[in-house]
Chain A
Amino acid sequence: MLGEPVLKYLITRLVQLVAVVFVISVLAFLLVHLLPGDPSVTILGPFDTAAARAEVLRQLGLDKPLPLQYLTWLGNVLHGNLGESFLTKESVSHAIAQAFPIDLELVVLSQIIAFAVAIPLAMVAARRPNKAFDRLSSTFTFGLLSVPAFILAVLLVLVFAVSIHAFPATGWTNLTSNLGQNLRSAILPSIALGAGSVAVYFRLLRSDLISTLQEDYITMARAKGLPTRYILFRHALRPSSFSLLASAGINIGSLLTGAFVVEYLFQLPGIGYQIVESISSRDYLMVQGMALVVAVAFVVVNFAVDFLLVLLDPRIRRA
């Protein structure tokens, strides 16, 4: 199926990906190591002797030169060993495995909501640009752009949790333990997280659809006597959705970190929540490992979307 140019492109991008991931691992490492604060203080408390501190640092390998520490850490990471918490002795990879599905579920749900709202809205609006419906939905989404996730979260809690008790204000039920409860606990955070995406997707898709609908091939499709709805879905939507998908890719990456605030607000034990908790307890390896995972996920998602775009647009496939 895939031609040689696509393979070449894929390989170039893969090399770039590896390079970026390498730099990111350095950044994640330095981020934690160059900052003030002494882990031995965290572990032993502020009143222990200098000798005891040195011993702790030696045990943790923190007395070695930075490049060596990095290489050791990287070697372990490549073997799937992200180290363990200074405090709880829980392995970092275990903590991530516990927390990451929550982020994943939030991001996926929020994007399902965003697409489900933005796509139909944009399709109806683009059919008659500058008419009442288009103006109304454009104004609405422009306003939505100015509602930060945390404000929307507060409003949602106020209305749906405090006033009418429809959904829990905080807390999380795992997907595997009870699906209904899980969705109930995920719905408000997902809406808070996805609302900004609705605005962005709507605006992109609307303007792309408007210009697509003026293309000759749409006139041609009309001249074939095809129904309007069919033309919208089968002829206009796909060529209009490339910038939508590109922005969704970038967006999904930043949602991973955007979820931090929402998780904290709704007390959901996802990666964001864990990172902030680990930061406040100076749990270095935990912060480092989670930062690495989030950053790599961010890059990989962007890469995957990039490649998906190539598959979707047969024109790029050849270029």
Chain B
Amino acid sequence: MRRADPLRFAPVEDMADPLLSVEDLRTHFRTPAGVLRAVDGVSFSLDRGKTLGIVGESGSGKTVLSRSVMGLLSQSSVDRSGRVLFAGHDLTAMGPRELRQVWGTQVSMIFQDPMTALNPVVRIGRQITESLRIRAGLDRAAARQTAVALLASVGIPSPERRLRSYPHELSGGMRQRVMIAIALSCGPKLVLADEPTTGLDVTIQAQILDLLSSEQRERSMAMVLVTHDLGVVAGRTDHIAVMYAGRIVESAPTAVVFRDTKMPYTEALIRSIPKLAAPSHTRLLAIEGRPPSLLDPPEGCAFAPRCPYADDRCHREAPPLREASPGHLYACWNPVGTPAAARAFEANRQAGLPAAVAYARSGVAP
């Protein structure tokens, strides 16, 4: 029942193998309090040059997912099963030595917080050139030249001078640009970007995302964009996977996610995006409650306790991933817009369930 079919969203003209294919990936942490199921049976695939957005609240397991895909989690106390096929090679079967050959040159990562992900006591220059020298085998002068070109291409003014700076001497946006330069330095085929814009101002967020998109197009890389903000991925991805409590609950081409939303959680995420066009007094709808503990997930659908459309069955039985249309999968018993959802909503509203009451109050009845 848990086993989901690998999701394909390849355009018809590219029938080659997917660049990245994740099959039933599970990542469990053994903690003193019990087993924490951070990633619990996730499958997806991604073709060359395409972008996948993985969206979920903090605590949904999306950061662990991106590190687990890369194989970055340290070995002890982590149980990982499933397969991660990159260009046909199984990353989960690789030892540290082989993985190191993949990291940086094939797959690279952009971290959430450039303040902590850049070494505070190493100059920017060396943090860029070290992988160029060690991994790409460039000599000192060539590495320096490449670093300058990289910094220029990510939009850092007077790059020669910046090579001598320390991370704390740059602004947040500049630091994130440096991080992108580092991630791109060895020409990877795939970039995993984990909340690349979280700590930044809104205007700078847009600049960084545009930069990522243009670099991606120029270098024809594939990208996984992990974020809590559906608005961030809306116009910039080919496909979106929504994660909740360690699993994918809805997955579809980007336009379909917004046009034909099935999963109530996805709907809630969409409602929480601020819309510039909406009248200024429109209240943003925050999702009531918190994501469940990954140590002790609920028996039925993990979203049921917060869902305005949940009925008894949702609390009892976890819904499987089902196909709505080719490439569109969702896991829900009472999908958005169905009569079943409307019935359950009415019952929940009368029972005074907070999620349903909040929906009713802001006038978003199904």
Q: Do chains A and B touch in the complex (CB under 8 A)?
A: yes
Q: Mark B116-157, 1 if CB is under 8 A from A, else 0.
A: 111111100010001100110000000000000000000000
Partner-binding segment picked from A49-57, A95-103, A155-163, A212-220: A212-220
A216-B113, A230-B134, A234-B130 are contacts. A314–B119 as well, Cβ < 8 Å? Answer: no
* A235: Cβ under 8 A from any B Cβ: yes
Task: Pick from B72, B105, B134, B166: contact of A219, CB below 8 A.
Answer: B72
| A239 adjacent to chain B (CB < 8 Å) | yes
Interface flag for A226 (CB, 8 Å) = yes
Give residues 244-261 of A contacting B (CB, 8 Å): none
Chain B proximity of A233: nearest CB distance (Å): 12
Is there contact, CB below 8 Å, between B130 and A315?
Answer: no
Q: Please measure, in the bound complex, the distance between the C-alpha atom of A222 and the C-alpha atom of B72, giving whole angstroms.
A: 8
Binary interface encoding of chain B residues 149-187 relative to chain A, with 1 for a CB under 8 A from any of its CBs, else 0: 000000000000000001011000000000100100010
B258 at interface, CB cutoff 8 A: no
Known: A217-B119, A223-B70, A312-B121. 16 other contacts (CB 8 A): A215-B116, A220-B109, A220-B119, A222-B72, A223-B72, A223-B109, A224-B103, A224-B131, A224-B135, A224-B182, A226-B130, A226-B131, A226-B135, A238-B122, A315-B120, A315-B121
Which chain A residue shows the least CB distance to B134?
Answer: A226
Q: Given that A225-B102, A226-B130 are contacting pairs, would A220 and B118 also be in contact in the complex, using a CB cutoff of 8 Å?
A: yes
Q: Cβ of B118: which chain A residues have Cβ within 8 Å of it?
A: 217, 220
Number of residues from A at the complex interface, CB < 8 A: 23
Is B293's CB within 8 Å of the partner chain A?
A: no
Interface of A is mostly: helix
The verdict on B108 contacting chain A, using a C-beta distance below 8 Å, is yes
Task: List residues of A whose CB falls within 8 A of some B CB.
Answer: 215-217, 219-228, 230, 234-235, 238-239, 312-315, 318
Q: How far is the CA of A227 from the CA of B131 in the complex (A)?
A: 10
Q: Which residues of A contact B135 (CB under 8 A)?
A: 224-226
- Kindly identify which residue among A224, A225, A314 contacts B120, using a CB–CB cutoff of 8 Å: A314
The distance in angstroms between the C-alpha atoms of A264 and B102, with both chains bound, is 60
Residues of chain B within 8 A (CB-CB) of A314 are: 120-121, 166, 168
Provide the bound-state CA to CA distance between A1 and B345, in Å. Answer: 67
Complex contacts, B116 vs chain A, CB 8 Å: 215-217
